[in-house]
A and B are shown apart, each in its own frame.
Chain A
Amino acid sequence: MLHDVIIIGGGIVGCAIARELSRFELRVALLEKEAEVGFGTSKTNSGIIHAGHHAPPSTLKGRLEWRGNQMWDQLARDLKFGFSRVGELLVALEPGDLAHLQELKEQGEAKGVTGLELWDPPRIRREEPNLSRDILKALHAPTAAVVNPYEAVFGFMECAQQNGVSLHCGCPVNALRRVDGRFTVHTPCGVFQARYVVNAAGLFAQQVAAMLGADDFRTRPRKGEEYMLDRRLQGLVTHLVFPTPRPGTKGILIIPTVDGTIMVGPTADDHDDPLDVSTTWEGARRVFDTVRRYCPAISERDAITEFAGSRAVAEGDDFVIRASPVAGFINVGGIQSPGLTASPAIAEHVRELLAEQGLALQERERWKADLEGPARFAQRTPEERRALVAADPAHARIVCRCELVNEAEVVDAIRHGARTVDGVKFRVRAGMGRCQGGFCQARVIEILARELGIPLHEVTKRGPGSELFYPRHDQPGSEP
């Protein structure tokens, strides 16, 4: 089948583009190399919708950041993911930082960012009593928000799929050619043909572009480590807390997540291996030493889990979103912070670029913008729970005790695309609570095996190679 557009990469950017293109009468496919969408950079994102004033308006980042910021309230309502405008505080600890706060305030106001205010120490203490007494001033931006980035990715993709976009996971691009004005994309799941290709391959975008000689940009991975703190610290800070930014990074932050827990990070270390997602002793030390300067109550002992991920940073530090030297091939590279914030605006921009390249956009008559959303058992009243159990007894079979997730929710997650234990975890929170999967993992594995029709030992954490259990030595499937 000849596709109008093939999107390579199912991160937040690729999935936002898929949803945007699903509004039109187009045949669109999205190819993702991992077992599920959102399993690369997006999964390890800090989950911040930036307030809009950080990037200068002369940059692409600066333009798309503020436009993107304003789109998230509607997206959260439509796609049913958690979203909260918690606001941010950018704190100045040294006299030299004060001028910079003022500049950022003016930059934001020039862009139209609303509500920016400089707070003095008494105001800071009233709003955030646990922050350091050494803070000289803080720039408050009420437009900053938090989301769970993976929920946003799943929401974008599911909405795109319900409007006709086809999704192919476990489908890395091995070769890419352009012959007679058509692209052929070679993958282990077959050969795809398309009139247009959008390269949203994240850390691997440069590599994909090089297959066509369309790599007129350079990116490199920048690793970030994040540390999640125990739930009993909930309420320690209620705003996002940023240090005064330094070149190349927004610094190490305190993040009150949409689930109510506190997260600290990320580090920002340029390196060469996009697959290095390890946390380190040194990174932890740096994160905790830094955040203790603005919030002395935070300690390494409070960490309950940690993770790391990399984002692609382009030369010149701006997003690379443009038609490539190859007609019909659009590069979307170097999507570092504020990439999550900007993603819905990036999708609009890519749609405009495709239109400029000659793609005809005719609006679909029946485009459905919203999703039904899952029946979150834990958040229901006893009456609602009674009705759910009456409708399906699987609602009474509790799988995850910590987060009160039942079998019906796990089955629903699998029907909506979860293929792995991590996929279930990121959709329904089974395994995210205090026991970290100690009790529920066995049940989740059994349900995945049953629903996917595979033996238990083929269930993976996040795709081939991450099988969780092996068959016994005397059983089929055991190595000789």
Chain B
Amino acid sequence: MNPVDARTLAEVYDVVVVGGGPAGLAAALGAREAGAERILVVDREAEAGGILNQCIHAGFGLHHFKEELTGPEYAERFVNQALAAGVDLLTDAYVIDITPDLRVQLINGALGHAEVVARSVVLAMGCRERTRGAIRTPGFRPAGVMTAGLAQKMVNLKGLLPGRRVAILGSGDIGLIMARRLTLEGCQVVGVFELMPYSNGLTRNVVQCLDDFGIPLRLSTTVAFIHGRDRVQRLTLAPVDARLQPDLKQAWDVACDTLLLSIGLIPENELSHRLRLRMDATTGGPRVSSTLETSLPGVFACGNVLHVHDLVDFVTEESLRAGGYAAEVARGKRRPIDNIPLQAGDNLGSCVPHSLSPDREQVIYLRVKQPVKDAVLTVGNRYERRFRLLVPSEMVRLTLGPEVLERYFGDTLRIDVRPREVA
């Protein structure tokens, strides 16, 4: 990869990638493999790699590299590959706006306010964490309430601790990982409390981060009040009813100085909104075709800005494809227009992409709304697959070949997940 400055930044690029995390780096590589010559990756941090740089735990790469890597190791492999491939990298830079004719406006300390022309653009801005405001927790507003990701950054990159005695609300993967990390750092983790009756993290993280360290996970529980004027002093916790409302009569107090929030992720789509892309209200990301192209021709999206993934390996796979299709468009090549709209049916929270084409094998990612045991997933009336257990926290990857898709030419294809009927 070539770090670029004012002298070497080109005026025109085949592909400009916004975001240098795992999605952006893979998109750049995918674009190179598909024949793009000038590729620019823009990242706001001083170093590429995105959120992986603060994920110092292992568990990355099991699918893509068939080995277990830490986050920084996984990122380094992609940075090195991009370096070898001659991709331009502009760090400490911020994309302010993209015009509908794909002029990318950015600012950077060395360049000032610059503009580059892109033949195609890949959006790979990732996601952000939901905060206290999103869940309306009454009480005081002291120091010591923060997202699990901010705590992870401060612990792993700045060598600071969020507190000494920590409670975690929400069982998202970052929260589970931080429960283990803070225990290893000598903090006392008093428990992980989850509003829903099931965990929102990967099963392997519940086992490896909580069970192995004796950290309790209490389901159907929420924080009903935060005490402490300057710094958190204690929390009132309460079980929730079927409508997820706290039952204050059964509430109890826990002393702690810190509350970490791991209550969900939101795709970071401010640029997408400025571009007026058509959005999917369920995923929070743009609607995309089978080539991962958004409603604005020439603009592609991949990774967590498109829909929140659980595994970086899936981000990589999706982004390699997005980069490849972006390169094709930049080089004047067009795939056939999708002719099968896809619809998320019973018990499906999301389904990406939003349309398919029968000319080639298609990869579909989906997520259920509610856990289902002995589930049957049906695609239209021709394809069926069984699962022992489907949970919202684990995304399903589905591939469909032309032999299935050809039958649905011009029809809306609906995917449903139902419990298997007992004979």
CB closest chain-B residue, reference A230 = B133
Bound-state CA distance A389–B110 (Å) is 9
Q: Which of B112, B134, B142, B246 has the most CB of A within 10 A?
A: B112
A470 touches B230 (CB 8 A): no
Q: Could you tell me the distance in whole angstroms from the C-beta of B232 to the nearest C-beta in chain A?
A: 10
Mark contacts of A433-477 with chain B using CB atoms, 8 A cut-off: 1 yes-contact digit, 0 otherwise: 001111101100010000000001100111111111111110100
Bound-state CA distance A303–B135 (Å) is 9
Cβ of B143 within 8 Å of any chain A Cβ, yes or no, is yes
Cβ of B185 within 8 Å of any chain A Cβ, yes or no, is yes
Cβ of B146 within 8 Å of any chain A Cβ, yes or no, is yes
Cβ of A133 within 8 Å of any chain B Cβ, yes or no, is no
CB closest chain-B residue, reference A227 = B136
Cβ of A63 within 8 Å of any chain B Cβ, yes or no, is no
Contact stretch, chosen from A15-23, A144-152, A178-186, A273-281: A273-281
Cβ of B147 within 8 Å of any chain A Cβ, yes or no, is yes
The interface residues of chain B lying within 8 Å CB-to-CB of A468 are 143-144, 146
Cβ of A100 within 8 Å of any chain B Cβ, yes or no, is no
Contact stretch, chosen from A161-169, A316-324, A347-355, A393-401: A393-401
B270 touches A396 (CB 8 A): no
Interface residues of B in 137-172 (CB under 8 A from A): 138-144, 146-147, 149-150, 153-154, 158-164
B185 touches A473 (CB 8 A): yes
Cβ of A307 within 8 Å of any chain B Cβ, yes or no, is yes
B158 touches A461 (CB 8 A): no
Contact stretch, chosen from B7-15, B30-38, B124-132, B373-381: B124-132
Bound-state CA distance A442–B89 (Å) is 24
Cβ of B314 within 8 Å of any chain A Cβ, yes or no, is no
Contact stretch, chosen from B101-109, B323-331, B335-343, B364-372: B101-109
Number of residue pairs A-B, CB distance < 8 angstroms: 134
Chain A interface size band reads: 35 or more
Given A385-B113, A396-B107, A398-B44 in contact, is the A280-B154 Cβ separation under 8 Å?
A: no
The interface residues of chain B lying within 8 Å CB-to-CB of A473 are 161, 185-186
A466 touches B132 (CB 8 A): no
CB closest chain-A residue, reference B224 = A281
The interface residues of chain A lying within 8 Å CB-to-CB of B224 are 281
Cβ of B204 within 8 Å of any chain A Cβ, yes or no, is no
The interface residues of chain B lying within 8 Å CB-to-CB of A467 are 143, 231
A279 touches B138 (CB 8 A): yes
Bound-state CA distance A466–B112 (Å) is 37
Given A398-B44, A463-B230 in contact, is the A469-B161 Cβ separation under 8 Å?
A: yes
CB closest chain-A residue, reference B140 = A278
The interface residues of chain B lying within 8 Å CB-to-CB of A228 are 133
Cβ of A297 within 8 Å of any chain B Cβ, yes or no, is no
Cβ of B94 within 8 Å of any chain A Cβ, yes or no, is yes
A470 touches B163 (CB 8 A): yes
Bound-state CA distance A439–B268 (Å) is 12
Bound-state CA distance A398–B96 (Å) is 10
B270 touches A456 (CB 8 A): no
A435 touches B109 (CB 8 A): no
Cβ of B241 within 8 Å of any chain A Cβ, yes or no, is no
Mark contacts of A260-295 with chain B using CB atoms, 8 A cut-off: 1 yes-contact digit, 0 otherwise: 000000000000000101111101100000000000
Cβ of B244 within 8 Å of any chain A Cβ, yes or no, is no
Q: Could you tell me the distance in whole angstroms from the C-beta of A187 to the nearest C-beta in chain B?
A: 20
Given A277-B141, A281-B138 in contact, is the A436-B133 Cβ separation under 8 Å?
A: yes
Cβ of A382 within 8 Å of any chain B Cβ, yes or no, is yes
Cβ of B248 within 8 Å of any chain A Cβ, yes or no, is yes
Cβ of B359 within 8 Å of any chain A Cβ, yes or no, is no
Cβ of A304 within 8 Å of any chain B Cβ, yes or no, is yes
A284 touches B138 (CB 8 A): yes
Bound-state CA distance A178–B138 (Å) is 44
The interface residues of chain A lying within 8 Å CB-to-CB of B278 are none
- A441 CB contact (under 8 Å) in B93, B132, B146, B231: B146
B136 touches A300 (CB 8 A): yes
Q: Which 7 A-B pairs have the closest CB atoms?
A: A393-B109, A465-B230, A469-B160, A461-B143, A305-B133, A386-B113, A436-B131
Can you give 25 contacting A-B residue pairs, CB < 8 Å? A277-B141, A300-B136, A303-B136, A305-B133, A385-B96, A386-B113, A389-B107, A393-B109, A396-B108, A401-B44, A401-B270, A435-B131, A438-B149, A438-B150, A442-B153, A461-B142, A461-B143, A467-B231, A469-B154, A469-B158, A470-B162, A470-B164, A471-B161, A472-B160, A473-B185
Q: Which B positions have Cβ atoms within 8 angstroms of A?
A: 44, 92-94, 96, 105, 107-113, 128-129, 131-134, 136, 138-144, 146-147, 149-150, 153-154, 158-164, 185-186, 224-227, 229-231, 246, 248, 268, 270
**19 other contacts beyond A279-B139, A470-B162, with CB at 8 A cut-off?**
A277-B141, A280-B138, A382-B113, A385-B96, A385-B113, A396-B93, A398-B94, A438-B149, A439-B128, A441-B150, A457-B160, A465-B230, A467-B143, A468-B144, A469-B154, A469-B162, A470-B160, A470-B161, A472-B185
